[in-house]
Amino acid sequence: MAEEVANTVAGKIVDLLFSGAKREIDYIRNYTKNVGKLESEARKLKGIRGRIQQRIDAAEGNGEILLAGVQEWMDKAEIELSKVEEFLEEVANAKKTCFNLRPCVNLGALYHYSKMAINNTSFLLDQQKDGETHENRVSIPAPTPRLVDLYQTKNLEDIDTHKLALREIIEAIKDESIQMVGIYGSGGVGKTTLAKEVAAEVKNLFAEIVFITVSQTVDVKEIQKHVEKAAKRIIINKEKVLIILDDIWKKLVLSDVGIPCGNNHMNCKILLTSRSRNVCEGMNADRNICVNTLKKEEAWVLFKRIVGDEKLANDSGLEKIAKEVTEECGGLPLIIQAVGNALKNKKIDIWEAALDRLRKHAPLEIDQEIRKAFTHLKLSYDLLDSKEAKSCFLLCSLFKEDGIISLLSLAEYGVGIGIFKDLDSINDAEKRVRMAVDTLTSSCLLLSKLGGAVKMHDVVRDVALLITSSSEGEEKEKFLVEAGKGLTEWQPRNKTSDRYTKISLMDNRIEKLPHHQLHFPLLDTFLIRRNYLSVIPDEFFGGMKEVKVLDMSYNKITSLPQSLKLLTKLITLDISYNKNLIEICIVGELKDLEILKVRKTGIKVIPEEIGQLTNLRLLDAGECDDLSHVAPGVISKLTWLEELYFGTYINDKNAVSRFGLMEISKLKSFRALHLSMHSDDCHLFPQGTCFEKLKEFYFRFCKGERFLFEIESKSYLKRRLHISESNFPFKMPIKKLFQVSDGIMLTLIAGLDNIIPDLYGESTIDELKSIRMISCENASCLVKITDEDEDATQTFVASNDLMLGQRKTTKEKYFSQVEDIRLTDLKSLKLLFDCSFQYISLRNLQDIEISDCYSLLTVFPLSVAQGLSNLRRLEIRGCNSLMVVISGGDEHTAENDIVFPRLTHILLWFLPQLKSFYSGDSTVKYPSLEFIREAQSKINDLSGKWIGSLQI
């Protein structure tokens, strides 16, 4: 028995030893296969990382927030790939010695490296699997900047009424036993301003501050949307949150709009503002604080700040009138600012006339609150020197209360009703709207909003509506404004009104219109955008034959009514974002039309009837996914066309002709073209398109929607070119576009070595402001000028000097206007500039970002770095070979410091070979540096010479 057991055990030991030996032999025998597998999986992981990095770049370019885990995955992938590269380098070095398949082969080394290759491959496979979850999505949209972050606090010095109220409100907010605080006072007294001052003062006490304008028409869903995130933080995370509900007109049940309240949610503080104390009490506010009008002395202090102390102190007569004017403003800051801004640059006789006007009473039939403001704000309106500013002011009242007002909409409406005299172009209208809005904001009649839009204070809007609904209007216009009131249908009681000139039904929920003709003989503007309309009755427009502006965008309209063709005086027609609208032939009947917008509709063709619109200035058919062609000859018939927007991703060698692009050259007034096409079509552009002469263009040649991100939408970029997944060289029409573009983006361009001279040849590049290059594998530098090129340039310059009888000119400086450079995944990039550095000037460069350029050795030569006077941000990551950021210099150049006067951010990520920021002897200075981050590099001078005394 014992012998059997011994034999069994011995057998198992032999099996184990044999299987173990077999595994070890397999390691040695499969060494080449295992190392090759590791290299293959490393390349795959690099590919995944590169694609994710492209999405990260796009997200960051759009200001989005990365999803949790994305950056961690990128960091881990970088670490794993770095380990693999070190391992493969170690294997390569071993091969150079005795590690080969000759008699002296080191079997132990073969075993070790083969086993390590298998282990590392396993890690890479796990990393690939994790990375696949991030390839489709890496980010979420960033929240809009909070009001509290954008708000500029006011100077309340010597204005004790507001200072004391502010102090009382803040004390109540800080009181743990108080949940709800109410602020009440008359319109224009400064309640909203104080609420914003409170938010700015206590922002560090709360995890989140939500500011919601409620207004007269309560939109429950909109409020719920704004507080949803905050409610979760209150209930689930138990965080402290302040919710400000501004401009409440009637009792609001907080639970109905999703705001947690009561003893179980004391971590939710609520601040209300209202014109009525009764509203605050009705909502059971724990503390109600009245904001009084300013005292006489305080009003005078504020008025002097607006008008200017010196102006009044130097003219005793004017000062006396100014004090009387101030008293007439009733201590209301809104009115004091409006009147002060209206008068500050006027002569004394205008002041005297204004004082007389202010002493007269407002119309008796209007609300008491508005009566206080009417005469004063009407005076500010009347004193506007610009008729265009006055017209824009009244147009703003057509938008819903507290609505955001687009300047582009004001321009398009203004063109339609003819408020701009001697208009040169659509672009000219946009410029003049900006000038009008600047006048109105400086007069405190409009409020500026983020992104260049504006909005109206509700009191100012009330005055504007009063002007347009009574005999007070200069133009004797009468508006009917029902915007943003939650209407589900519109059935006016009277079928006729001989006086209405403008009707606004925007931002409602209207699903149907009257099935009979309405008689509005003077109506020139009808706005019903952002409703739920699917059908417009055929006879609806029959009694509105004077209409010049019609906006039916953002509805569900499937077909256009027959009565539309009766609007023969129509100038501006916007039917955009009606996705089910396919047929627009009837629009060809509107011969006076100048602006036609059919963006994001379901149209498949621009029909030949559109060619009858010989007065058309702007045609916007962008984002029409099913649009396949433009009827032949249509574009050339639009003799006054200035701006054209459309595109397709259908790969068709006839795309240029199908969209009538060759016909554009026949249009004398044409200035702007925005065009998206399949990337292969860029090689099909024929000679003679003359697009390089356009004042504004955006060409995007891509394959489908794969690369949706684009050059940052900066206002100064007017001529942008984006080409993706194509082959270099490009034909002459495209090369000409490069020469006049101020922003270029190149993605996956095969065969491209450099920007200069490959793309630009001997042409100047004075227009270029933005450069983006992504995954262009052959790109070895940005500028490459050989000795032969330099000699040829010198000969050319010298010969021209002799011909002109002048001294030799200075050499051209490349990139002197460039403001941002972004280079991503350029595997062959070793240097940015392979040329004599005297050709390079980056004096306007503000932002440079370089990532995953694995062969890059250095970024700036010393002579170029010394000219970076406007650089604000420097980010470099994943450049495995980078050894120094700034190279060059010796003891002879050490006397000249390297100064970055505006540099605020430096980010250096995963640069394993980076030894120093600067390799020379000069001193680096950066007086504005605010943030620096360095991760996983070997840099040895992060303190001392180049960081200096910076406190991080």
3-state secondary structure of 454: strand
For residue 269, what are the CA distances in angstroms to 149, 220, 478, 865? 19, 19, 43, 52
**What gap in Å lies between CA 296 and CA 319, rounded to an integer?**
15
pLDDT of residue 704: 54
Least confident of 480-494, 511-525, 653-667, 687-701: 653-667
pLDDT of residue 856: 94
**134 pLDDT above the threshold of 70:** yes
Instruction: Give the confidence band of 9 by pLDDT, cuts at 50, 70, 90.
Output: very low
Cis bond leading into 729, ω under 30°? yes
Report which of residues 553 and 941 the model is more confident about: 553
The 10s digit of each residue's pLDDT in 532-566 is 999 999 999 999 999 999 999 999 999 999 999 99
**489 pLDDT above the threshold of 60:** yes
Residues 6+ apart with CB under 8 A from 658: 628, 629, 630, 652
pLDDT of residue 376: 75
Of 599, 805, 626, 824, which Cα lies nearest the Cα of 709? Answer: 824
**171 pLDDT above the threshold of 90:** yes
**What gap in Å lies between CA 837 and CA 944, rounded to an integer?**
29
CB 647 within 8 A of CB 630: no
**What gap in Å lies between CA 607 and CA 210, rounded to an integer?**
49
**816 pLDDT above the threshold of 80:** yes
Query: Which tokens is 809 given?
Result: 């000119």
CB 725 within 8 A of CB 704: no
Q: Which long-range contacts (CB under 8 A, 24 or more apart) does 927-932 make?
A: 927/899, 927/901, 928/900, 928/901, 928/902, 928/903, 928/904, 929/900, 929/903, 929/904, 929/905, 930/904, 930/905, 931/904, 931/905, 931/906, 931/907, 932/905, 932/906, 932/907
Question: DSSP string spanning 470-488?
Answer: STT-TT--EEEE-TTS--S
Average pLDDT over residues 887-892: 63
The phi and psi torsions of 934 (rounded to 5 degrees) equal -135, 130
pTM of the prediction? 0.65
Instruction: Give the confidence band of 150 by pLDDT, cuts at 50, 70, 90.
Output: low
- DSSP β-bridge partners for residue 288: 182
Q: Which of 20-24, 449-453, 608-612, 884-888 has the highest mean pLDDT?
A: 608-612
Average pLDDT over residues 250-256: 89
The phi and psi torsions of 572 (rounded to 5 degrees) equal -120, 120
pLDDT of residue 329: 81
pLDDT of residue 116: 78
Residues 6+ apart with CB under 8 A from 904: 872, 873, 928, 929, 930, 931
pLDDT of residue 550: 98
Instruction: Give the confidence band of 576 by pLDDT, cuts at 50, 70, 90.
Output: very high
pLDDT of residue 315: 77
Least confident of 120-134, 464-478, 609-623: 464-478
**426 pLDDT above the threshold of 50:** yes
**58 pLDDT above the threshold of 80:** no
Average pLDDT over residues 227-254: 89
Instruction: Give the confidence band of 705 by pLDDT, cuts at 50, 70, 90.
Output: very low
Percentage of the chain exceeding pLDDT 70: 82
pLDDT of residue 938: 57
3-state secondary structure of 778: coil
Query: Which tokens is 600 given?
Result: 């994001």
Of 829, 823, 831, which Cα lies nearest the Cα of 851? Answer: 823
Least confident of 38-47, 87-96, 539-548, 875-884: 87-96
CB 659 within 8 A of CB 629: yes
- DSSP β-bridge partners for residue 848: 821, 874
Report which of residues 767 and 658 the model is more confident about: 767
User: Are β-strands 454-455 and 447-448 bridged in parallel, bridged antiparallel, or unpaired?
Assistant: antiparallel
Please give the sequence-ordered ranges of beta strands (E in DSSP) within 575-631, or none if there are none.
Answer: 595-597, 605-606, 618-620, 629-630
**790 pLDDT above the threshold of 70:** no
pLDDT of residue 936: 57
pLDDT of residue 805: 33
CB 692 within 8 A of CB 739: yes
The 10s digit of each residue's pLDDT in 311-341 is 777 777 888 888 888 888 878 888 888 888 8
pLDDT of residue 382: 84
The 10s digit of each residue's pLDDT in 373-420 is 777 778 778 888 889 999 999 999 999 988 899 999 999 999 999 999
pLDDT of residue 947: 40
pLDDT of residue 361: 61
**18 pLDDT above the threshold of 80:** no
**What gap in Å lies between CA 389 and CA 403, rounded to an integer?**
19
pLDDT of residue 683: 67
pLDDT of residue 339: 85
What is the CB neighbour count within 10 angstroms for residue 563? 19
Q: Which of 201-205, 351-355, 412-416 has the highest mean pLDDT?
A: 412-416
**428 pLDDT above the threshold of 60:** yes
pLDDT of residue 358: 73
pLDDT of residue 151: 65
The 10s digit of each residue's pLDDT in 723-747 is 888 888 887 778 888 888 899 999 8
The 10s digit of each residue's pLDDT in 817-855 is 999 999 999 999 999 998 888 888 899 999 999 999 999
pLDDT of residue 602: 92
CA dihedral for 14, 19, 20, 26, sign (positive or negative): positive
The 10s digit of each residue's pLDDT in 592-644 is 999 999 999 999 999 999 999 999 999 999 888 888 888 989 999 999 999 99
CB 575 within 8 A of CB 554: no
For residue 830, what are the CA distances in angstroms to 130, 880, 930? 31, 11, 30
Of 603, 513, 596, which Cα lies nearest the Cα of 551? Answer: 596
For residue 823, what are the CA distances in angstroms to 153, 534, 773, 863? 40, 47, 5, 21
pLDDT of residue 615: 95
Report which of residues 847 and 802 the model is more confident about: 847
Cis bond leading into 757, ω under 30°? yes
Q: What's the whole-number average pLDDT of the chain?
A: 81
- DSSP β-bridge partners for residue 183: 273, 289
pLDDT of residue 104: 46
3-state secondary structure of 242: strand
Least confident of 5-19, 422-436, 628-642: 5-19
The 10s digit of each residue's pLDDT in 658-683 is 677 778 888 888 988 888 777 676 76
The 10s digit of each residue's pLDDT in 273-297 is 988 888 898 999 999 998 888 888 9
What is the CB neighbour count within 10 angstroms for residue 939? 17
